Chains A and B, each alone.
Chain A
Amino acid sequence: MEELLGEFIAETRETLEPLAGEIIAWEADPSDRGRLDSIFRFVHTVKGSCGFLDLPRLERLSHAAESALAEVRSGDRSADRKLVNAVLAIIDRIGEYVEALAAGEAYPEGGDEALILALEDNEVEAPEPTPAVVAQQQSAPRAPARSIRLPVELLDRMMAGVSDMVLARNELSRRLRERGGDAIVDTAFERLSACVAEMRESITRTRMQRIDGLFSALPRMVRDLSAELHKQVHLIIDGGDVELDREMIEMIRDPLTHIVRNSIDHGIEGPADRAASAKPVAGTLRVDARQSGNQILIEVADDGRGIDDEKLLAKAITAGIVTRERAQRMDRQERLELIFAAGLSTAQAVTAISGRGVGMDVVRANVERIGGTVEIDTTLGRGTRLTLRVPMTLTIIPALTFAVGSELFAIPRGAVDEIVRSYGGSVEVETVGSATVARIRGDRVPVVDLAKLLGMQGYAPAGRSILVVVRASSGERYALAVDSVQDHEELVVKPAAPAIMATGVYAGTTLPDNGRPMLLINPAGVAQVAGVRAPDAAIPANAEAEETRIETVPTLLFRACDGAVRAIRLSLVERIEDVAASAVARAGGRLRLSHDGRILPLFGCDAAMPDRDGRVRVLLLGDGTTEIAYAIGEVIDIHALPPGFMPAAEPGPIAGVMLVQDVQVELVDSFWLFAQVGDGGAVAERPLCLIDGSDAWMREVLRPIIEQAGYRVAYSADGAGSVQPVAVFSLDGEAAAQVGDTPVICLRIAAEQAGSAAGSIYRYDRHGLIAALAAAQGRR
Chain B
Amino acid sequence: MEDLKLIARIAGQEVALSADAVESVVEIDAITPVPLAAAHIAGLAALRSRVLTIIDTYAALELGRSSREGVIQAIVVTIDNHLYGLLVDEVVDVAAITGDPQPLHAGLSLGWAHAALGLVEHQDRALLLLDPARIVAGPLSAAA
Name A residues whose Cβ lies closer than 8 Å to a Cβ of B.
160, 163-164, 166-167, 407, 453-456, 494-500, 502-503, 505-506, 509-511, 515-519, 529
Which residues in B have their C-beta under 8 angstroms from that of A454? Answer: 35-36
Q: Which of B49-104 contact A (CB under 8 A)?
A: 49-53, 80, 82, 84
Q: Which of A166, A407, A509 contacts B51 (CB 8 A)?
A: A509
Closest CB-CB distance, A514 to chain B, in whole Å?
A: 9
Which of B32, B38, B41 has the most CB atoms of chain A within a 10 A radius of its CB?
B32
Closest CB-CB distance, A530 to chain B, in whole Å?
A: 11
Q: Which of A166, A497, A503, A511 contacts B46 (CB 8 A)?
A: A511
With A and B bound together, what is the CA distance between A519 and B41 in angstroms? Answer: 14
With A and B bound together, what is the CA distance between A175 and B55 in angstroms? Answer: 31
A511–B49 CB distance below 8 A: yes
With A and B bound together, what is the CA distance between A687 and B52 in angstroms? Answer: 64
Q: Which of A166, A167, A407 contacts B32 (CB 8 A)?
A: A407
Is B48 on the interface with A (CB-CB < 8 A)? yes
A500–B48 CB distance below 8 A: no
Which 8 pairs show the lowest CB-CB distances between chains A and B?
A: A163-B49, A454-B35, A517-B44, A497-B53, A503-B36, A164-B49, A497-B82, A509-B51
B45–A500 CB distance below 8 A: no
Is B30 on the interface with A (CB-CB < 8 A)? yes
**Could you list 17 A-B pairs, sorted by A, with CB under 8 Å?**
A160-B50, A164-B49, A166-B49, A167-B46, A453-B36, A494-B51, A495-B82, A496-B82, A499-B38, A500-B41, A503-B37, A510-B51, A511-B46, A516-B32, A516-B46, A519-B32, A519-B34
Closest CB-CB distance, B117 to chain A, in whole Å?
A: 21
Count of interface residues, chain B, beta-carbon cutoff 8 Å: 24
A496-B53, A505-B36 known; 10 other A-B pairs, CB under 8 Å? A160-B50, A167-B49, A407-B32, A455-B35, A455-B36, A497-B84, A500-B34, A511-B46, A511-B50, A516-B30
Closest CB-CB distance, A505 to chain B, in whole Å?
A: 6
Is B138 on the interface with A (CB-CB < 8 A)? yes
Q: Which of A498, A509, A516 contacts B80 (CB 8 A)?
A: A498
A160–B49 CB distance below 8 A: yes
Which residues in A have their C-beta under 8 angstroms from that of B82? Answer: 495-498
Which of B33, B35, B48 has the most CB atoms of chain A within a 10 A radius of its CB?
B35
A517–B46 CB distance below 8 A: yes
A497-B53, A502-B38 known; A517 and B80 CB under 8 Å? no
Which residues in A have their C-beta under 8 angstroms from that of B45? Answer: 517
Which residues in B have their C-beta under 8 angstroms from that of A160? Answer: 49-50
Closest CB-CB distance, B77 to chain A, in whole Å?
A: 12
Closest CB-CB distance, B79 to chain A, in whole Å?
A: 8
Closest CB-CB distance, B137 to chain A, in whole Å?
A: 8
Which residues in B have their C-beta under 8 angstroms from that of A505? Answer: 36
Which of B44, B51, B52 has the most CB atoms of chain A within a 10 A radius of its CB?
B51
Closest CB-CB distance, A515 to chain B, in whole Å?
A: 5
Which of B30, B36, B138 has the most CB atoms of chain A within a 10 A radius of its CB?
B36
Output the nearest chain A residue to B52 by Cβ-Cβ distance. Answer: A517
A517–B138 CB distance below 8 A: no
Output the nearest chain B residue to A529 by Cβ-Cβ distance. Answer: B36
With A and B bound together, what is the CA distance between A516 and B43 in angstroms? Answer: 11
Closest CB-CB distance, B1 to chain A, in whole Å?
A: 19
Name B residues whose Cβ lies closer than 8 Å to a Cβ of A.
30, 32-38, 40-41, 44-46, 48-53, 80, 82, 84, 136, 138
Closest CB-CB distance, A108 to chain B, in whole Å?
A: 39
Closest CB-CB distance, B135 to chain A, in whole Å?
A: 12
B46–A499 CB distance below 8 A: no
With A and B bound together, what is the CA distance between A497 and B138 in angstroms? Answer: 13
Closest CB-CB distance, B134 to chain A, in whole Å?
A: 13
Closest CB-CB distance, B53 to chain A, in whole Å?
A: 4
Output the nearest chain A residue to B84 by Cβ-Cβ distance. Answer: A497
With A and B bound together, what is the CA distance between A715 and B112 in angstroms? Answer: 51
Which residues in A have their C-beta under 8 angstroms from that of B38? Answer: 499, 502
A500-B41, A517-B45, A519-B44 known; A511 and B34 CB under 8 Å? no
With A and B bound together, what is the CA distance between A517 and B31 in angstroms? Answer: 8
B32–A517 CB distance below 8 A: yes
A499–B44 CB distance below 8 A: no
B35–A167 CB distance below 8 A: no
Output the nearest chain A residue to B32 by Cβ-Cβ distance. Answer: A517
Which residues in B have their C-beta under 8 angstroms from that of A453? Answer: 36
Output the nearest chain B residue to A517 by Cβ-Cβ distance. Answer: B44
Which residues in B have their C-beta under 8 angstroms from that of A407? Answer: 32-33
With A and B bound together, what is the CA distance between A517 and B80 in angstroms? Answer: 20
A407-B33, A497-B82, A503-B36 known; A164 and B48 CB under 8 Å? yes
Q: Which of A166, A500, A529 contacts B37 (CB 8 A)?
A: A500
Q: Which of A164, A498, A503, A529 contacts B34 (CB 8 A)?
A: A503
Q: Which of B35, B37, B44, B50 contacts A456 (CB 8 A)?
A: B35
Which residues in B have their C-beta under 8 angstroms from that of A495? Answer: 82
With A and B bound together, what is the CA distance between A188 and B52 in angstroms? Answer: 33
With A and B bound together, what is the CA distance between A494 and B40 in angstroms? Answer: 21
With A and B bound together, what is the CA distance between A509 and B46 in angstroms? Answer: 11
Which residues in B have their C-beta under 8 angstroms from that of A518? Answer: 32
With A and B bound together, what is the CA distance between A167 and B30 in angstroms? Answer: 16
With A and B bound together, what is the CA distance between A519 and B49 in angstroms? Answer: 15
Which of A166, A407, A453, A499 has the most CB atoms of chain B within a 10 A radius of its CB?
A499
Output the nearest chain B residue to A167 by Cβ-Cβ distance. Answer: B49
Closest CB-CB distance, A122 to chain B, in whole Å?
A: 56
Which residues in B have their C-beta under 8 angstroms from that of A519? Answer: 32, 34, 44
A499-B53, A500-B41, A509-B51 known; A515 and B34 CB under 8 Å? no
Which residues in A have their C-beta under 8 angstroms from that of B44? Answer: 509, 517, 519
Output the nearest chain A residue to B50 by Cβ-Cβ distance. Answer: A160
A499–B51 CB distance below 8 A: no
Which residues in B have their C-beta under 8 angstroms from that of A517? Answer: 32, 44-46, 51-52
Output the nearest chain A residue to B34 by Cβ-Cβ distance. Answer: A500
Output the nearest chain B residue to A501 by Cβ-Cβ distance. Answer: B37
B50–A500 CB distance below 8 A: no
Closest CB-CB distance, A684 to chain B, in whole Å?
A: 45
Output the nearest chain B residue to A161 by Cβ-Cβ distance. Answer: B49
Output the nearest chain B residue to A495 by Cβ-Cβ distance. Answer: B82
With A and B bound together, what is the CA distance between A500 and B40 in angstroms? Answer: 11
With A and B bound together, what is the CA distance between A160 and B49 in angstroms? Answer: 7
Which residues in A have their C-beta under 8 angstroms from that of B35? Answer: 454-456, 503
With A and B bound together, what is the CA distance between A497 and B82 in angstroms? Answer: 6
Closest CB-CB distance, A460 to chain B, in whole Å?
A: 17
Closest CB-CB distance, B30 to chain A, in whole Å?
A: 6
Closest CB-CB distance, A196 to chain B, in whole Å?
A: 13
Q: Which of B41, B49, B50, B52 contacts A499 (CB 8 A)?
A: B41
Closest CB-CB distance, B62 to chain A, in whole Å?
A: 16
With A and B bound together, what is the CA distance between A160 and B47 in angstroms? Answer: 11
A160-B50, A516-B46 known; A499 and B32 CB under 8 Å? no
Closest CB-CB distance, B18 to chain A, in whole Å?
A: 20
Closest CB-CB distance, A141 to chain B, in whole Å?
A: 44
With A and B bound together, what is the CA distance between A517 and B35 in angstroms? Answer: 14
B138–A499 CB distance below 8 A: yes
Which residues in B have their C-beta under 8 angstroms from that of A506? Answer: 34
With A and B bound together, what is the CA distance between A519 and B37 in angstroms? Answer: 12
With A and B bound together, what is the CA distance between A731 and B52 in angstroms? Answer: 56
With A and B bound together, what is the CA distance between A519 and B35 in angstroms? Answer: 10
Output the nearest chain B residue to A454 by Cβ-Cβ distance. Answer: B35
With A and B bound together, what is the CA distance between A496 and B34 in angstroms? Answer: 11
Output the nearest chain A residue to B44 by Cβ-Cβ distance. Answer: A517
Output the nearest chain B residue to A168 by Cβ-Cβ distance. Answer: B48
